[in-house]
Amino acid sequence: MISRKRGLPADNGEQDGPLVAPKQQQIRAEGKRHAAAVILARGGSKGIPLKNIKMLAGVPLIGWVLRAAVDSDMFDSVWVSTDHDEIEKVAKSWGAKVHRRSAEVSRDSSSSLETIQEFARLNPEVDVICHIQATSPCLHPHHVKEALEMITLQGFDSVFSVVRRHQFRWKEIKKGSDEMTKPFNLDTANRPRRQDWDGELCENGSFYFATRDLLMNKGLMQGGKIGYYEMLPEYSVDIDVDIDWPVAEQRVLRYGYFGRVTPEVVQLMFCNVSGCLTEGRIFLSVSGEDMVSVNTRDAMGIRMLKGEEVEVVLLTSREDPVTKSLAEKLAKRMGCEVMEVGEEPLNDLKLVVEKKKLEWKDVAYMGNDKPDVKCLNLAGLSAVPGDAPTVAINAAKYTCHKVGGLGAVREFAEHILLQKQKAKAQMKQDRIDNSSF
């Protein structure tokens, strides 16, 4: 999908400047301007407690925008401004620096501008501050890249995100008033059809970028030579109250940014048996045989992956061994290889990846505890069950709603297949777009 971008000069006689010749990398190399992404994440959200780190589609809410900011490769630094210890931990796990804001700008009445100005005072090296809202989980790297270039390459002082709306607005009449309502943007005698009306541009709250001079010397987030960046409606998601959450989750699963890896290249999935495919328990029969319980939904999830030509390898641990006979039964039942790994699974699995001539971006990994952290970080797609410890959740790219042994593997399988479908649809759209030129 080609993003639509337009710059709108302020009413000060200035027009859009021509695109400056130097590329962004050259500008950075010359040390001209330091661009910092700043996400405000106060702990005292009134609508949804600790909203900024609540899980949305398997990822902490703030993780969606942090991933987009980091992967854009446009920022010299990425920050989260917070007053809360747990938010700080999550922010760091997603690659951000942390600005511990003061009590003066952490009140309910504190404005975003005040908080950003405090950040700017404490970080004098920053020249362009890019305020990205944590509540905009469908943000993609190309959105921030193209918007920031309007400042760094085209000479705008401030740029903010908008979405096009086709809504007729009417004047509100207070109760008891004799006044009559009237339309603000509609001629009722010539009511246009939607396809005949361009609609109106409305702020969607995804981001506000501004130069240091505008923020500190003029006290404005929007001013000087003002530009807007138009985002398509499907990417304009904002979350304020609980009722928004399930709707936003479905939107994010379809339109969210899941990382640099192109999902359709995933060819191999490693999945822990204990704690993922099973509840982590081994049952002992009267005869002394080991037994495990496998959910039929999880078994179907593995078959679904195999049907899409994704090889699945089940992992057992030498530290928590499964008997050879049980491993053989699992392999036969699930139709895939069962492999034993050591205390550090990566040491064994990297040899498998190399032997199959794959890269880790081609691999999906499902683990559930501290020994899995390196693999969870390295894999192109990774997940943990919903009952995994924090250390594993922070390393995974997706956290399942379901717990180990009760549908988590099926959920991750569906997630992998959804990303493959999205990637194929994107490739098809790109071909259509390219053929238009």
Coil, strand or helix at 431? helix
Instruction: Indicate the angle between helix axes 324-334 and 296-307, nearest 10 degrees.
Output: 60
pLDDT of residue 170: 94
Q: For 329-344, write each residue's pLDDT tens digit.
A: 777 878 888 888 888 8
Type of residue numbered 368: N
Average pLDDT, rounded, for the chain: 83
pLDDT, tens digit, for every residue of 17-55? Answer: 333 334 344 444 455 789 999 999 988 766 677 889 988
Q: What are phi and psi of 436, to 5 degrees?
A: -80, -10
Q: Which helix (H) or strand (E) holds 287?
A: none
Whether pLDDT at 248 is above 90: no
Torsion of CA 24, 26, 27, 31, to 10 degrees: 140
**Mean pLDDT across the stretch 201-227?**
96
Residue 209 banded pLDDT, cuts 50, 70, 90:
very high
Q: What is the pLDDT of residue 64?
A: 93
For residues 245 and 88, the model is more confident at 88
Per-residue HEC secondary structure of 55-113 comes to EECCEEHHHHHHHHHHHCCCCCEEEEEECCHHHHHHHHHCCCEEEECCHHHCCCCCCHH
Of 119 and 287, more confident: 119
| Inter-residue contact 167 to 233 (CB < 8 Å) | no
Among residues 291, 314, 316, 289, the alpha carbon closest in space to that of 301 is found at 314
* Across 198-204, average pLDDT: 93
Q: How confident is the model at residue 253 (pLDDT cuts 50, 70, 90)?
A: confident
Where is pLDDT greater, at 26 or 272? 272
What pLDDT score does 374 carry? 93
Domains by residue range for the chain, with CATH: 35-169+197-255 (3.90.550.10), 268-425 (3.40.50.1000)
**Residues that are catalytic:** 191
pLDDT bracket for residue 283 (50, 70, 90): low
* pLDDT mean over 253-258: 85
For residue 242, pLDDT beyond 90 = no
Listed as own residue / partner, the contacts of 21-27 with beta carbons closer than 8 Å and 24 or more positions apart are 22/153, 24/74, 24/149, 24/152, 24/153, 27/152, 27/153
Q: Looking at residue 251, what is its pLDDT?
A: 87
Q: Tens digits of per-residue pLDDT, 144-192?
A: 999 999 999 999 999 999 999 999 999 999 998 989 999 999 989 999 9
Q: Is the pLDDT of residue 99 over 60?
A: yes
pTM of the prediction? 0.65
Q: pLDDT-based confidence at 286, cuts 50/70/90?
A: low
Question: CA–CA distance from 70 to each of 38, 51, 66, 95, 172 (Å)?
Answer: 11, 21, 6, 7, 43
* DSSP type of residue 242: T
Out of 76-80, 237-241, 251-255, 323-327, give the one with best mean pLDDT. 76-80
Q: Is the pLDDT of residue 327 over 80?
A: no
Least confident of 97-101, 298-302, 429-433: 429-433
pLDDT of residue 210 exceeding 70, the answer is: yes
- Which residue did the predictor score with more confidence, 365 or 44? 365
pLDDT over 50 at 302, yes or no: yes
Amino acid letter for position 340 = E
The string of pLDDT tens digits covering residues 401-428 is 899 888 999 999 988 887 777 666 555 5
What whole-number distance in Å separates Cα of residue 113 and Cα of residue 100?
16
